[in-house]
Amino acid sequence: MNRHRTIPRRRLLAAALAAPFAARPAALRAATAALTPPQSRGPFYPVEIPADSDANLVQVAGQPESAAGDVVQVFGQVRDDHGRPLAGGRIEIWQCDAFGHYHHPRDRGGRADPNFQGFGRAVLDEDGRYAFLTIKPVPYPGRTPHIHFAVAGPGVEPLTTQMYLAGHPLNVDDFLYNAIRDPAARDSVTVAFRAAPDLGAGIEAGRFDLVLGRSI
């Protein structure tokens, strides 16, 4: 498991903005023309938003060590169904730690890694882009690895969904992943990670673009 040195948010976002769209497989790029499928928020959204809830989930303010787990960057762009970027919108993510525990009292409260935020939020830039530094999601009983996402902003319907790891063997049996019946829609929430040497040795990055419907 990687241990992470602090990466400033400006560098984290700059690396995401420099990443080419071609890094995402053609089938997944095409799928983003359709709305991102909604999924359950699940039972582990934070009861209280943590004091440290920035875009770097692997370094918690006041903790001497970084999170256990394999460090990854998740980045992408949020648009409406006409292709307009959601500038100034808010995006949130939450997930379990490297041992399968959430920071939530309903999930064996108090057992989650204190060095992992478990939740982060960011404001989308003028082009609707975001970047989070977190850990590669891991499975826990009954679920394939995933990260929860929630997005809201002016002129669009709020969206809650989940992001999955491309090629993970547990995907075939996951009830929520397979509840997305349309293969193209399922591909749109499935992300492949690749080495990101500009962020550090052993760190991978994956692009997750989201498309939201316009509000009436």
Query: Does the pLDDT of residue 134 top 70, yes or no?
Result: yes
Is residue 120 within 8 Å of 134, Cβ to Cβ? yes
The HSE-up count of residue 39 (CA atoms within 13 Å, CB side) is 25
pTM of the model: 0.86
Encode 36-50 in three state secondary structure.
Answer: CCCCCCCCCCCCCCC
Q: pLDDT for 26-69, tens place per residue?
A: 443 443 459 999 999 999 999 999 999 999 999 999 999 999 99
- Are 5 and 68 within 8 A, CB to CB? no
**Phi/psi of residue 21, each to 5°?**
-60, -30
Contact (Cβ atoms closer than 8 angstroms) between residue 88 and residue 119: no
Q: What is the rounded CA–CA span in Å between residue 103 and residue 13?
A: 25
Pick the CATH number of 9-212 from 3.90.1300.10, 2.60.130.10, 2.60.40.10, 3.30.1330.10: 2.60.130.10
Q: If pLDDT is split at 50, 70 and 90, which confidence band does 11 have?
A: low
